[in-house]
Every structure is written in C-alpha cells, then in structure tokens.
C-alpha cells in the first residue's frame, strides 16, 4: 500500500477484517488447513489411551500401632505400601508377569480422607482395569492379613496360658476330690480314737481349704484369660475392615481426553482465527498497489481501467488474445468487457488530449503489458478504428506469440537499415488492426528506439492509423521505454495489482517525469475477478460475449 496509508484512521473496524479476508482468503484458508492438518497428524500419531479408576478405603488397624490398639492410618505411608515390593510381588504372581515389566497405577489421596485413588492409563483398556483391581485387591488382602497376624500372635500365648490354667484346675479338682474321699474315710474309721480322728479331720480340712483357695485363684485367672481371648477374637474379626475396595475399576469403553473430532474442530476454528489475524497483518504490511487509490496517488494520474486475471488456459499464447477468440466462459466474458471499458477510457483520453500515439509499459517484466496491449488494440479495431500495434520490446518479444504472427523480420530490421520500408502486417481475425513485429533481437535496442528511423516510423503510422500503440520494455528494467516515450503523445502504465509495489510506481513516475513524458493513466491488471466466495453471485449477469 502507499506510504501515506499510515495516516488513515487507526480504528480497526469489522470491515477492515472482512476486506483482509477477501483479499487474502488463500492465506486464511491455507493457515486454517495447515493447523488442521497438524492437528490431524498429531492426533493420528497418538495411541488412544484408556483410563481405569478404583478406590480403596483404609481404616484404623493395629499394623504399625505403638500401643497395640487400632490407630488411624498414615496415608503417605499407605500410598507407598500399595506400590511396595510385597504388593507388587503378589500382583506379578497373579498376572503372571515379571516384576521388571509390571505396570503400576498412579496412587493419590485427599489429605482429609482415608481413601486411596488408583488410576491406570494404558493402551489396553482391559489391562488398565486389571492393573487397578489387582493392586487394590493385593493391598487390602495384605493389610487385612497383617492385622490378623498381629491378633493371632497375641491370642496364641493367652490360649497356651489358658490350657495351663485348665490343667492346674483339673489337678486341683482331683486333689480336692481325693481330700473329700479321705475325710469320709476318716469319719467312718471306728478303729481311730477320738483324738486321732479329730486331728486327722483338722488336717484334711486345712488341706481342703488350701486346695479350694488355689482352685478359686486359678479359676479367676482362667476367666480373665478367657475374657482377653474373647476381646482379641473380636479385634481379629474387625481386621477384615482394615482395608476394603470401595469401587473396582471397570473396563473403559472409550479413550480418555478430548475426542479427536473436537480437537479437529477446535483446530479448524483456531486456524481460521489465526489465519484471519495473519491475513490482516499481511494486509497492513502489504506495499502492493492493489487498488486504484494507491496507483493514482503513486503515479499522479488516474486509472483508466481494470483487467481481471485470466484463467490458467488464457494467460499465454494465442489464448491470451481474449478479444480475438469466441469463448463464452463467464470469466472471459468479464475480461472482454473490462477491455472494452478500457477502450472507452483511452478514447476519452485521446479526445481530451488530442492524443493518438500511446506507449504501453510497466514497472517490471511479467505484469501483462503485452497481453493488455494486444487486447486493447484489438478492441479499438473492433470499434471501427484503424490501429497500428508496434512491438518495441525487442529484447523479450512476446506479442508475436499472442497474435500468432511469425517474428522473422520486423522493427529491428527496419531500424537497423536492413529494410527500407516497414511493411505492416494485418492481424488475422480483426479488420483494421495492423501489427509491427519486433524482429530479431538487435545488439542495441535502446539506441534504435531513440533513432530518427523510429521517429520517422511513428510519424508514418500517425498518418496511416487512428491509434498507434507501442508495446515497450518495462521502465525499471531498461531505459528503452523512457527513450521511446518522447515520440508518444502519452504513456500508459500497466500495473500488476498482485505484485507491483507503490515504491516501484513512484520510481516509474520519476523516470517518466525526467524524460518529459506525459502520463495518461494506468491500467490495473490481474485484478481479482468479481464473484467467488466473497463476491456477488450475479457478477457475470450483464457481461455479453460478442465482439463489438
């Protein structure tokens, strides 16, 4: 864009973004597709992962207790135990895999809870669930077994002591029974004197009292031991609750994470937004003269017309002479109509300036000046005028290919003196159009265009034709165009709306001003055609296909 564009209103509006999208739609589409393809490639390379979850409740137990009573679990320690060697060995044996390749679940817990959360991500959903369940089961079994082992170790000596007390009670009971029998025997023995019998009965009573006392003591101890055993049995039964699986893992049926389609949709939307931003940035930084205001301000002259870009099959050779072919394609119909509009502008300019000879040039090669010149000359001739078209681009002649005219001899032969008379060739297919081929490339084309021979040729063509169009080399590539411009009534600059920058047009204007040339105007070439995804649907509605 032109340099003073920075002076425009700095407030960015929705229209600015729409214009950027319209002008740079392929940037937007390309960026969106690139990001979408990256997302597709990224998600396609990823192996679908399945997540299985399970929970284990850890309750108070005597394992690790300092006082032998059930204590609240240390969850940090229990999280380590569930991945410890004993649990892993049990899981490996259950799954029949080696410890070195045994997968592990992730274990977490909430600080205020007694619940362990197990999670396993795996490409195999069944294996993910199996790993969680096996670790949960092995851990709970080992925790319960550890508590039961503690209770069993505490019950065993008590039971041994109970057996010993029961044996003592049996002995004491037998002794008491023996003393009782002995007392009866003494009481019935008539041979004993009264004194002796009384002494023996007193001794028997003393022994019986001792035995009964011992028996009561042992029986009391036995009851205490039996109570302790009952308490330990109750504790042993509660060991089953030391840990339990609250929720077993089920086999996941769908991969974890965001679905691929959602990722692709998000990537497409992000690509469109990013592409729009890139298009807007490129649009703001673009120095290409893409609209008439840019060209007019840079060249200091008006734009005479705009020619849309041709289809791929009409950009070179005879097919580029769209005014000479009868193809009813809508795009070519639009191109022909734009050439006719340009013809009208040239006719108005010629009438207002009394001009007859116009030099067609551009800033650089490849901007389409030869195609525009050929079609403009044909359009002028189709309007009933006599037109002489001179190919003065003797360095890289292309006009002959467009008009399908052999380039065996032509302008270079005449200017070098090898031909005394310049014979005009009438272009086949259109009455009144005469053509001067470039001829074989000479060694000094710039000097030849400044010669008196070229001046005489142009004077002769003025008398022969109503309009003379000179197709010259680009201004910034050689000095040929500036040299030849002195024999023209005006210069018409063809501008590639997709490539030519405003700084280049400023240089063209300076060169032509220094040569004293009259700049009639410019032609915007390769303009994006109307219609398309951002244009009007009726863009071709009024374009005819005739040759008028």
For residue 455, the model assigns a pLDDT of 92
> What does the buried/exposed string (b/e) look like for 357-387 if buried means 16 or more CB atoms within 10 Å of the residue's CB?
bbbbbbbbbebbbbbbbbbbbbbbbbbebbb
Distance CA 314, CA 304 (A): 23
Which architecture, in CATH terms, is 311-497? 3-Layer(aba) Sandwich (3.40)
Minimum mean pLDDT among 30-39, 51-60, 117-126: which range?
Answer: 30-39
Q: How confident is the model at residue 284 (pLDDT cuts 50, 70, 90)?
A: low
Regarding predicted confidence, which is higher, 63 or 142? Answer: 142
Cα separations (Å) of 74 from 52, 106, 115, 143, 210?
25, 18, 11, 13, 54
Handedness of CA 301, 305, 309, 310 (dihedral sign): negative
465-484 b/e with 16+ CB inside 10 Å = b? bbbbbbbbbbbbebbbbbbb
Identify whether the C-beta of residue 196 lies closer than 8 Å to the C-beta of residue 202.
Answer: no
pLDDT recorded at residue 63: 76
> For residues 71 and 306, what is the distance between their CA atoms, to the nearest angstrom?
91
Q: Where are the domains of the chain?
A: 13-47+257-280, 50-247, 311-497
User: What digits encode the pLDDT tens for the residues 349-362?
Assistant: 999 888 999 999 99
Q: Is 0.85 topped by the overall pTM? A: no
With CA atoms as reference, report the closest residue to 361 among 351, 352, 348, 370. Answer: 370
Contact between 195 and 202 under an 8 Å Cβ cutoff? The reply is no
Two tokens, residue 333: 């119909």
pLDDT above 80 for 289 = no
Average pLDDT over residues 63-67: 73
pLDDT of 380: 95
Number of residues in the chain: 548
Neighbours of 344 (CB within 10 A): 13
- What is the model's pLDDT at position 543? 44
Q: What is the DSSP string of 138-190?
A: HHHHHHHHHHHHHHHHHHHHHHHHHHHHHHHHHHHHHHHHHHHHHHHHHHH-T
DSSP SS3 for 128: helix
The DSSP secondary-structure symbol of 249 reads P
Closest CA to 484 of 393, 419, 414: 393
Please say if the pLDDT value at position 538 is more than 50. no
Q: What is the dihedral of CA 204, 205, 210, 212, to 10 degrees?
A: 110
Q: What pLDDT, on the 0 to 100 scale, is given for residue 432?
A: 93
Task: Please report the pLDDT score of residue 285 as a whole number.
Answer: 62
Confidence band, pLDDT 50/70/90 cuts, at residue 12: low
Q: Which of 323, 373, 318, 355 is nearest to 493 (CA)?
A: 373
Residue 16 in this model has a pLDDT that exceeds 80 = no
| Residue bearing tokens 């399945």 | 50
Residue 198 has pLDDT above 90, yes or no: no
User: Which of 473, 423, 470 lies closest to 446, judged by CA?
Assistant: 473
Q: How far lies 523's CA from each of 3, 74, 167, 362, 364, in Å?
A: 21, 86, 127, 9, 14
Output the six-digit token pair for 249.
Answer: 């893992």
What three-state secondary structure class fits 451? coil
| 4-27 average pLDDT score | 64
Q: How far apart are CA 391 and CA 507, in angstroms?
A: 24
Cα–Cα distance, 337 to 339 (Å, whole number): 5
pLDDT of residue 32: 84
Residue with tokens 């673009």: 286
Q: Tokens in use for 523?
A: 């032609």
pLDDT tens, position by position, 118-153: 999 998 999 999 999 999 999 998 888 888 888 888
Pair type for strands 519-527 and 425-426: unpaired
Rounded Cα distance, 253 and 283, in Å: 49
Q: What is the pLDDT of residues 266-282, one digit of tens each?
A: 888 988 888 888 877 77
Q: Using the predicted structure, report yes or no on whether residue 533 has a pLDDT greater than 60.
A: no
d(CA 181, CA 176): 9
Angle between helices 14-23 and 260-285 (to 10 degrees): 100
HSE toward the beta carbon, residue 542, CA cutoff 13 A:
2
pLDDT of 544 strictly over 70: no
Query: Residue 41, exposed/middle/buried by CB under 10 A (0-12, 13-18, 19+)?
Result: exposed
């Amino acid at each position: 864009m032109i340099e003073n564009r920075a002076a425009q209103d700095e407030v960015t509006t929705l229209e600015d973004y729409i214009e950027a999208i319209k002008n740079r739609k392929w940037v937007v589409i390309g960026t969106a597709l690139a990001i979408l393809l990256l997302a597709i490639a990224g998600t396609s390379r990823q192996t679908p992962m399945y997540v299985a979850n399970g929970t284990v409740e850890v309750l108070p137990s005597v394992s690790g207790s300092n006082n032998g009573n059930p204590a609240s679990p240390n969850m940090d320690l229990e999280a380590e135990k569930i991945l410890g060697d004993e649990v892993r060995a049990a899981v490996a044996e259950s799954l029949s895999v080696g410890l070195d390749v045994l997968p592990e679940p992730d274990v977490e817990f909430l600080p205020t809870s007694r619940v362990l959360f197990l999670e396993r991500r795996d490409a195999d959903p069944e294996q993910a669930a199996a790993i969680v369940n096996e670790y949960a089961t092995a851990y709970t079994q080992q925790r319960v077994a550890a508590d039961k082992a503690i209770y069993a170790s505490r019950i065993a000596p008590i039971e041994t002591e109970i057996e010993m007390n029961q044996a003592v009670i049996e002995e004491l009971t037998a002794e008491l029974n023996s003393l009782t029998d002995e007392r009866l025997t003494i009481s019935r023995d008539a041979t004993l004197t009264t004194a002796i019998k009384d002494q023996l009965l007193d001794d028997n009573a003393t022994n019986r009292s001792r035995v009964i006392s011992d028996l009561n003591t042992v029986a009391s101890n036995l009851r205490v031991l039996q109570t302790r055993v009952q308490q330990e049995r109750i504790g042993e039964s509660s060991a089953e609750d030391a840990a339990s699986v609250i929720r077993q893992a089920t086999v996941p049926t769908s991969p974890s994470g965001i679905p691929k389609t959602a990722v692709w949709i998000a990537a497409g939307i992000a690509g469109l937004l990013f592409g729009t931003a890139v298009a807007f940035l490129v649009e703001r930084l673009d120095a290409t003269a893409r609209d008439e205001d840019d060209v007019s301000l840079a060249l200091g002259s008006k734009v005479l017309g705009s020619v849309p870009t041709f289809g791929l099959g009409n950009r070179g050779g005879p097919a580029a002479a769209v005014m000479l072919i009868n193809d009813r394609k809508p795009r070519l119909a639009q191109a022909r109509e734009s050439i006719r509009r340009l013809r009208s502008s040239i006719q108005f300019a010629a009438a207002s300036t009394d001009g007859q000879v116009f030099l067609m040039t551009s800033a650089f090669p490849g901007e389409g000046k030869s195609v525009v010149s050929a079609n403009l000359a044909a359009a002028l001739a189709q309007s009933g005028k006599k037109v002489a078209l001179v190919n003065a681009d003797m360095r890289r002649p292309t006009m002959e290919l467009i008009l399908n005219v052999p380039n065996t001899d032509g302008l270079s032969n005449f200017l070098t003196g090898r031909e005394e008379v310049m014979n005009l060739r009438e272009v086949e297919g259109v009455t009144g159009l005469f053509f001067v081929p470039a001829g074989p490339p000479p060694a000094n084309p710039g000097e030849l265009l400044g010669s008196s021979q070229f001046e005489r040729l142009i004077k002769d063509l003025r008398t022969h034709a109503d309009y003379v169009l000179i197709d010259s080399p680009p201004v910034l590539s050689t000095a040929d165009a500036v040299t030849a411009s002195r024999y023209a009534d005006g210069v018409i600059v063809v501008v590639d709306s997709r490539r030519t920058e405003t700084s280049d047009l400023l240089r063209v204007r300076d060169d032509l001003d220094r040569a004293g040339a009259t700049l009639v105007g410019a032609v915007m070439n390769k303009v994006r055609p109307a219609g398309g995804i951002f244009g009007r649907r009726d863009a071709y509605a009024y374009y005819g296909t005739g040759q008028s």
